[in-house]
């Protein structure tokens, strides 16, 4: 990689580090108390702005980790990094709860590239019977962040304060490959799931000076492997406008993914402590102490399928429209450390992308990708007898840029306006904003004959 591009990459990482450092106030999402917390989307910024059309999406520039078959479409090496900010208003129907929550973090860090560099095919006049792409990186799986406090008046003990707090995150470190032959692409990901989640409950009797405060802490370290399988089939339809213009024919794409439900390991650390701090002295009594207890956690099976249609009108405007469906058997999830009720989850998404003039030389605005989408999600978490729902609209932009070395790269902006839960329990109205940087290069693995 050229030295100038290395310097630019270092600058991007520095800017993102500053963004993350200043955008991480403690999140307060009460629903993250249940199950494995708030499940994080594996979609990068382009897909996040189109309702999550991951089953059929592929690009020569961008990585789609949700369907590994898409790696075979990469013709540029792609380094992708993204960060997000989430801003939410929480409220109930009786307005007893009104709160604001803000959070932010690194969204993803990934590298993808074609194993057979397209420049080698041209300079060496050698073709290959298939296209082969590869990718690896780090993406979040789920997050927990909540702090709930309530006061109760007991006729015998007076006022008591109950405080529930939780924090932590699970991540996936993945590696994947995708192959394409005659329009049919297949691929796989293997991912290492890891992370730590901690829940803590404290009960304090405020009006009893010598009463002991109860503190229960439950910490779980999770580790295990997950596998993703992906399939895409592209079919060009209709006749080309003229000879050697096959690229202008519309393309119909079908896609599907499957993640088998397999087991992971949790290592638990539990404690139940009673303590009091009076007259400068701390009294503490450990009632229960467990460290290093191993348990099995059974993960859900997840499947998806979708369809999309892409065309170039008048050899200028490129547009794409698609549908996506996902189902997940969270009703089969089991873990001795997570005993909450979970149900079968599903998500329906629709989205589109329009580039007014792909090869415009005199109008930058016409080269921007404009994206729009919507989704409806039945969340796996069940509160009482109510299964949570999450729905919203998405939109965003793909901004082409030139980095040092005159290489085309992209800044992708994605916005999600959504609603999680119901006012009968707690309703979260939120805005999630994602910024992604895609650095592209075609010189990786290029064999130069002359220097």
User: What angle is formed at CA 274 by the lines to CA 272 and CA 275, rounded to 5 degrees?
Assistant: 140
Does 451 map to a domain? no
What is the SS3 assignment for 77? strand
Q: What is the mean pLDDT of residues 358-371?
A: 88
Of 109-118, 270-279, 290-299, the range with the lowest mean pLDDT is 270-279
At 257 the pLDDT is 98
Q: Is 398 inside any structural domain?
A: yes
pLDDT single digits (tens) 90-135:
887 776 667 788 888 888 999 999 987 666 565 555 677 889 999 9
Asked if the model's pLDDT at residue 274 lies above 60, the reply is yes
Per-residue confidence (pLDDT) for residue 155, from 0 to 100: 79
404 close to 5: Cβ distance less than 8 angstroms? yes
Q: Which range among 36-40, 244-248, 312-316 shows the weakest confidence by mean pLDDT?
A: 244-248
Long-range pairs, 357-361, Cβ under 8 A, ≥24: 357/316, 357/317, 358/312, 358/316, 358/317, 358/318, 359/316, 360/316
In a domain, 448, yes or no: no
Closest to 271 in 3D by CA, of 289, 293, 285: 289
Question: In degrees rounded to 5, what are phi and psi of residue 155?
Answer: -65, -25
Q: Which SS3 state, helix, strand or coil, does residue 218 take?
A: strand
Q: Is residue 424 part of a domain?
A: yes
Pairing between strand 369-383 and 345-355? antiparallel
Pairing of β 184-205 and β 213-236: antiparallel
Residue 206: Cβ within 10 Å count? 13
Find out whether 45 and 414 touch, Cβ atoms under 8 Å: yes
Q: What does the pLDDT read at residue 245?
A: 58
What value does the mean pLDDT take over residues 327-342? 88
Range of the domain at 85: 3-441
Q: Strand 345-355 relative to strand 281-298: parallel, antiparallel, unpaired?
A: unpaired
Q: Residue 450 falls within a domain, yes or no?
A: no
pLDDT value, residue 2: 46
Per-residue pLDDT of 133-162, as tens digits, reads 999 999 999 999 888 888 888 777 778 888
Residue 42 located in a structural domain? yes
Mean pLDDT along residues 273-297 = 70
Q: Which helix (H) or strand (E) element contains residue 22? A: helix 3-22
CATH of residue 151 = 2.40.160.60
Q: Which of 163-177, 193-207, 243-257 has the lowest mean pLDDT?
A: 243-257
Separation of alpha carbons 353 and 348, rounded Å: 17
Mean pLDDT for 25-40 is 80
pLDDT over 60 (residue 446)? no
**151 burial via Cβ count (<10 Å: 0-12, 13-18, 19+):** exposed
Q: Is residue 216 part of a domain?
A: yes
Structure tokens at 341: 């009720």
Does residue 449 lie within any of the structural domains?
A: no
For 212-269, write each residue's pLDDT tens digit.
777 888 888 999 999 999 999 999 887 665 555 556 678 999 999 999 998 888 887 8
Q: What's phi and psi for 30, nearest 5 deg? A: -55, -30
- Note the pTM of the prediction, 2 decimals: 0.86
Number of domains in the chain: 1
How would you classify residue 292: left for phi > 0, otherwise alpha for psi between -120 and 50, otherwise beta? left
**Any idea what DSSP says for residue 327?**
E
- Share above pLDDT 70 across residues of the chain, in percent, rounded to a whole number: 82
Who wins on pLDDT, 24 or 235? Answer: 235
């Amino acid at each position: 990689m050229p030295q100038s591009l290395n310097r630019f990459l270092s600058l991007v990482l520095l800017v993102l580090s500053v963004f993350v450092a200043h955008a991480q106030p403690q999140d307060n999402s009460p629903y993250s108390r249940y199950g494995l917390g708030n499940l994080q989307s594996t979609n990068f910024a382009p897909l996040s702005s189109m309702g999550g059309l991951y089953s059929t999406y592929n690009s020569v520039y961008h990585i789609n980790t949700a369907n590994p078959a898409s790696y075979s479409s990469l013709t540029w090496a792609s380094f992708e990094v993204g960060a997000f900010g989430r801003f939410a208003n929480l409220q109930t129907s009786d307005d007893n709860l009104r709160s604001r929550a803000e959070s932010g973090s690194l969204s993803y860090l990934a590298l993808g590239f074609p194993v057979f560099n397209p420049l080698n095919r041209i300079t060496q006049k050698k073709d290959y019977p298939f296209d082969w792409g590869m990718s690896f990186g780090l993406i979040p799986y789920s997050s927990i962040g909540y702090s709930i406090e309530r006061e109760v008046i007991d006729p015998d003990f007076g006022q008591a304060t109950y405080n529930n707090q939780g924090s932590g995150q699970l991540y996936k470190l993945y590696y994947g490959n995708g192959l394409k032959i005659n329009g049919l692409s297949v691929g796989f990901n293997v991912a290492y799931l890891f992370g730590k989640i901690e829940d803590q409950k404290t009960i304090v009797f405020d009006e009893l000076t010598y009463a002991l405060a109860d503190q229960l802490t439950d910490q779980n370290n999770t580790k295990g492997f997950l596998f993703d399988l992906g399939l895409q089939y592209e079919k060009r339809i209709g006749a080309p406008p003229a000879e050697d213009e096959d690229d202008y024919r519309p393309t119909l794409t079908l896609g599907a993914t499957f993640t088998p439900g397999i087991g992971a390991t949790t290592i638990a650390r539990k404690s139940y402590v009673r303590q009091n701090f009076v007259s400068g002295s701390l009294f503490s009594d450990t009632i229960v102490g467990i460290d290093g207890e191993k348990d099995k956690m059974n993960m859900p099976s997840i499947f998806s399928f979708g369809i999309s249609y892409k065309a170039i009108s008048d050899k200028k405007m490129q547009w794409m429209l698609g549908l996506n469906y996902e189902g997940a058997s969270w009703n089969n999830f089991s873990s001795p450390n997570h005993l909450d009720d979970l149900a079968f989850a599903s998500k329906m998404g629709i989205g589109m992308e329009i580039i007014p003039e792909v090869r415009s030389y005199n109008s930058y605005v016409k080269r921007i990708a404009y994206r729009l989408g919507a989704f409806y999600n039945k969340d796996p978490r069940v509160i009482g007898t109510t299964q949570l729902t999450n729905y919203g609209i998405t939109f965003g932009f793909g901004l082409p840029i030139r980095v040092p070395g005159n290489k085309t790269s992209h800044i992708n902006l994605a916005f999600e306006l959504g609603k999680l839960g119901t006012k009968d329990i707690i309703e979260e109205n939120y805005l999630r904003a994602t910024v992604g940087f895609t650095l592209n290069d075609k010189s990786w693995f290029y064999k130069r004959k002359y220097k």
